[in-house]
Structures are given as C-alpha cells and as structure tokens.
Amino acid sequence: MGRILGRILRILAWIAPIYQFRANVWRRCGVNIGKRVYIGNLVFIDSQYPHLITVEDDASIGPLTLILAHSGGSPYHQQTGIFKQKPKPVHIKRGAWIGSGAIILPGAIIGEGSIVASGAVVNRPIPDFRVAAGNPARVVSKLPRPKTGRLMKNEERK
C-alpha cells in the first residue's frame, strides 16, 4: 500500500463514526483483527509495523488507546547506538477489554478475557482472566473463568 493511501486510511480509521468500519479499515492497513472487535474513536495503532499487531475475536479497545509495536528513540539515540530496540509483536487475545487511554507497548500480551484499566501502561504479558492497572500495569485481581458450556454455545452460533 502506498504511503499516501496508507496515511489516508489511518486517518479515516482514527475518526470514522462506526466501529465496524474502523476495524475493517485497520484490517486493510495490515493489522490482524478478528471478528466482532470493537475499536473506539481516536485509537492509534502502530503504522510502521501493523502486521505485528494481533487482536483476536470479541476484543474491545477503548477510545484514545495507543498500541505500539516499536519504539524508535530519537535520531541521536539511533545514530549513536545508545538505544536499540527491535519491533516486538503485540497480541490482544480473545475477549480482552482495554480501557480508554491505555498504552500497550511492544511485546505486550493481553490474556484471554483480561481487562486493562483506563490509563494503564502495559509493557509485559497479562495472564488470562486478570485485571491489570497502573503504570507499569500490574495484575490487581482475578476474574472468574466462564463455564465451558457458555463458551460452547457461543462457538455453536458461528
């Protein structure tokens, strides 16, 4: 995809009024997005490495969230070799819920059914069915696991 077209699509995804449309535009930009994913307004997803970001089915990403797969540092730090960090994948698993204004940094994995509180900064994996909050995000509580019968009914609906 050309630079200009990619930039136009990202702006469109950023401000589009319908969340299903936003998800489709991010897919077109290269982000791996599953089914029934909610992406809020003004969500910024890494534009240089969108292919490193995966959002599984039924996930929800609140408005003003940042999802980054790389951190380049300033030109000075890059030229002098002081700061070297390769891009790392970001994985948001099935049913995860990311609150408004959260920052998801390179290498983060948000577990299945987990909740990331508003304003949290995630820089490490969050296990399945946990609530994480703070800067840096830490697990603050556990969530009950759904009964398998319920999950099977949801699977059957597909």
Q: Is the pLDDT of residue 151 over 60?
A: no
The one-character DSSP state at 147 is P
What DSSP element (H or E) covers 116?
strand 115-116
CATH code at 59?
Answer: 2.160.10.10
Q: Which domain holds residue 27?
A: 3-157
For residue range 28-86, what is the model confidence (pLDDT) as tens digits? Answer: 888 999 999 999 989 999 888 889 999 999 999 999 999 999 887 777 877 787 777 78
Query: What does the pLDDT read at residue 150?
Result: 55
CB of 137 within 8 A of CB of 122? yes
Give the Cα separation of 10 and 12 in Å (integer): 5
Distance in angstroms between the alpha carbons of the first and the last residue of the chain: 32
Task: State how many domains the chain has.
Answer: 1
| Residue 133: CB atoms within 10 Å | 19
What DSSP element (H or E) covers 11?
helix 3-15
pTM: 0.84
